[in-house]
Each structure stands twice: as C-alpha cells, then as structure tokens.
Homo-oligomer: A and B are copies of this chain.
Amino acid sequence: MSLEGLRVMGIDPGLTRCGLSVVQAGRGRQIIPVAVGVVRTPSTAELAERLLRLSRAVGEWIDDYEPDVIAMERIFERGNVSTVMHTAHAVGVMVLAAAERGIPVHMYTPSEVKKAISGNGRADKKQMTVMITRILGLSEAPKPADAADALAIAVCHCWRAPLIARTNQLTMKAANQ
C-alpha cells in the first residue's frame, strides 16, 4: 500500500508556543518538508483571547495547506499543572478546528514519535533534531525545538499510516466475514 502524496500536518501542542508543520509523503520512506513554524500567544493575555488566536492560526494553516490528516502529540500530566491544563485547552481547540473541517486527527505519545524517528523511544532532543534534519534532507536543523517536534510528529504519522491503513483493512475484512 503506497501513501505517496499523503499530506500530513504535525502539531506539537501548546498555548504559549505551538509547533506546526506540514510534510508530504514521497516514494517509499521519502518525506518532503512543506512548511514549519511556531504559533505563540502572549502569557499576559486572557485564556479566551489566547485560545481564539490559536484557533484562528491553526485554522489558517489547515485552510492554506489542506492536509489530509493531522498528527498531534498526546499530552500527559507532567510538570506544572497549570501548563498541562493550558496545553489540554489548546488541544481541545485544535482538535475542534480539525473536526470542523472534517480532517481526521491521530495522536501519538512522545515515545512513539521518538521510536518512529530514531528507533529509540528514549532519544533525547539533540538526537531527534539530528535525525529529523537528516530524514527531511534539510540544510540546517529546524528551530525552535517546538518546530522540530512538529516535524517529527508529522514524519511519525507518514511512516505509521501504512500500518494503520493495513490494520483498518484487516479489521474491516474480519468484521465483514
């Protein structure tokens, strides 16, 4: 099963900094980078204002780049409670932006992304940046870290999508028997 041409938007969710990327699957395991960036909302602004800005920015990315699917990092309780809650609010708003446009969302844990990119679920930031720079054939490492993470999430989906598609096919086949 070939997914050549599949366009994936990767999101490293956050309210203060949200990494966004778009990549396109090429032949075999080849992946072509299309866009990468970071959306920031000021921590001095009210939550409502920040969510509104993020929602509009992500909506514009989706409308501009027309991805077939969105891959997002699954968040966990880690570190500061208030940051986790803010990130969870941001995820809600971005999943909604995708749903309103009929675009499916897949979530991946950080270790799933690390494993897909580097073969090691515990790879550090430096290793991940080296790998993603090489995979996408970039002349320099993507910055900031959130942008590199967003690219890694999108690449992770490109490589896992054929497996997901195959599993779905087999599940449907089994259900129809």
The stretch among A87-95, A109-117, A127-135 that forms the contact with chain B is A87-95
Looking at chain A's contact residues, is the secondary structure mostly helix, strand, loop, or mixed?
Answer: helix
For this chain, the copies found in one complex come to 2
> Is A75 positioned at the interface, with any CB of B under 8 Å from its CB?
yes
Q: How large is the interface on A (under 10, 10 to 19, 20 to 34, 35 or more residues)?
A: 20 to 34
**Nearest Cβ on chain B to A138's Cβ, whole angstroms:** 31
Inter-chain CA distance A59–B100, complex, in Å, is 13
Bound: A6/B170 CA distance, A: 57
Of the candidates A47, A84, A90, A95, the one having the most CB atoms from chain B within 10 angstroms of its own CB is A95
A87 to chain B: closest residue by CB = B88
A100 CA / B105 CA spacing, docked (Å): 23
- Chain A 93-105 near chain B by CB (<8 Å), digits 1 or 0: 1011011100011
Q: Which residues of B contact A124 (CB under 8 A)?
A: none
Q: Answer yes or no: A165 CB below 8 A from chain B CBs.
A: no
Given A47-B95, A96-B96, 14 more pairs with CB closer than 8 A: A48-B98, A48-B105, A51-B92, A51-B99, A52-B96, A55-B96, A77-B77, A77-B84, A88-B88, A88-B89, A88-B92, A89-B89, A91-B92, A92-B93
Write the residues of chain A forming the contact surface with B, with a CB cutoff of 8 angstroms: 47-49, 51-52, 55, 75, 77, 81, 84-85, 88-93, 95-96, 98-100, 104-105
